A and B are shown apart, each in its own frame.
Chain A
Amino acid sequence: MRKQIFILLLLISFGNAFAQNIEVVNFKQLEQKWNKQNDTLYLINYWATWCLPCIEELPDFIKLEKEMKNRKFKMILVSLDFPSHIQSRVIPFMDKNKITTEVVLLDDDANIWIDQVDKNWDGAIPVTQFIKRERKEFYKEQLNYERLKQIVNKFH
């Protein structure tokens, strides 16, 4: 009996290796993920599997995240894929690229929440936000590793 439970648990954990749970959130729920009372630097990247510049810059973000492992840093990748594409596009993309970063899918009225991210943003992605306490910085361009390091250094 013990042996069967052990094998079962093994199979379950193996099956979940990269098949992360993708949480679908509205904008209010998303905002709750960064707690302004702590000293953590939050990096929020808005992307999608169909967005070429988004895909291109992601490896540099993951590289940064690895380096920031022991620092007060949290990266959240916000996918703007359609919820119906989670199984067919988002999860396979994460599996293929071995992404273990927190990925959530934002599903909400774009004409309302785009302004709440940044009033000067028209909705084209990728965009990246850096948030630490009350300090927010918003980048409308494709970023690379060097730029990311520069920006992060400004916050520490």
Chain B
Amino acid sequence: MKKNSILFTAITLISFWSMAQGYKIGDTATSFNLKNIDDTMVSLNDYTNEKGVVVIFTCNHCPYSVAYEDRIIAIDKKYKTMGFPVVAINPNDPDLYPADSFTEMKKRAEEKGFTFPYLFDEGQQVYPRFGATKTPHVYVLENRSGKFTVAYTGTIDNSAKNEDQVTVTYLSDALDALIAGEKPGITVTKAIGCSIKTKNK
């Protein structure tokens, strides 16, 4: 009896710990099932015929997200034809950020002409699993026989505020490598963004 409870505690602690850490390169992403702005549900499992998915945690209110909107649309348009569509997820609590409510998400997507699903992380359960800490935060998932494996995490390029000053296109480079059947040269990058907040933290 004692052995079992120690084992149970150990497993629980380890799983909480890895949840707190989020996905590392090489981890398999568990599926999610979230509501899209067209009121349909979208799941990771919907993409098993694709080479992968570019999951981007992003939102309406964050100036960094706003600065990247056009670039995210461009990435989606280019890479969905090559097997890597974008799926955007808003991880924020609308009680804290009213500009990130589901209604506002619909408005923004229409205003900007988003070409990708823009999902609402109801209950804020999905972003902690990924380990997303801010918006925007990118997770490129590669489809390896139905298992969505994390191949790149971090930022889109090296100049949020000004597209004209971009000299390194981290995300595009990673996607180009994966499409060519190679590992991305840079798999993890860092950037400033708006921290994702929950009421309890």
Chain A contacts with B in 126-144, Cβ cutoff 8 A: 126
Q: In the complex, are the beta carbons of A124 and B134 less than 8 A apart?
A: yes
B197 touches A83 (CB 8 A): no
List CB contacts (< 8 Å) of B154-201 with chain A.
155, 158-161, 168, 170, 189-197
Q: A43 CA to B96 CA in the complex, in Å?
A: 28
A53–B195 Cα distance when bound, in Å, is: 8
* Chain A interface category by residue count: 20 to 34
Query: When the two chains form their complex, are residues A111 and B191 in contact, meaning their CB atoms are under 8 A apart?
Result: yes
Nearest A residue (CB) for B92: A52
Write out, one digit per residue, whether chain B residues 11-40 have a CB within 8 A of any chain A CB (1) or not (0): 000000000000000000000000000000
Q: Which residues of B contact A84 (CB under 8 A)?
A: 161
Q: Once the chains bind, are A124 and B193 in contact (CB under 8 Å)?
A: yes
B196 CB contacts on chain A under 8 angstroms: 124
Q: Find A111's partner among B96, B134, B190, B197 (CB 8 Å cutoff).
A: B190
**Chain A residues whose C-beta falls within 8 Å of the C-beta of B67 in the assembled complex:** 82
Q: In the complex, which of the residues B96, B133, B155, B159 contacts A124, with contact meaning CB atoms closer than 8 Å?
A: B133
In the complex, A19 Cα to B171 Cα: how many Å? 40
> In the complex, are the beta carbons of B63 and A110 less than 8 A apart?
no
Residue among A53, A82, A83, A110 having the largest count of chain B Cβ atoms under 10 Å: A110
Contact B134 A52 (CB under 8 A): no
Return A87 CB to nearest CB of chain B, in Å. Answer: 15
Q: Would you call B80 an interface residue if the criterion is a C-beta within 8 Å of the partner chain's C-beta atoms? A: no
Q: Is A30 an interface residue (CB 8 A)?
A: no
Q: CB < 8 Å: which of A50, A82, A83, A123 contacts B191? A: A123
Given known contacts A53-B197, A110-B158, A124-B134, A80 and B192 CB-to-CB distance under 8 angstroms:
yes
B73 lies within 8 A of chain A by Cβ = no
A-B CB contact pairs (8 Å), 13 listed: A52-B197, A53-B195, A110-B190, A111-B155, A114-B190, A114-B192, A121-B190, A123-B134, A123-B190, A123-B191, A124-B134, A125-B195, A126-B195
The 6 closest A-B pairs by CB, nearest first: A124-B195, A124-B133, A124-B134, A82-B161, A114-B190, A123-B192
Instruction: Mark A residues whose CB is within 8 Å of B.
Output: 48, 50-53, 80-85, 109-111, 114-115, 121-126
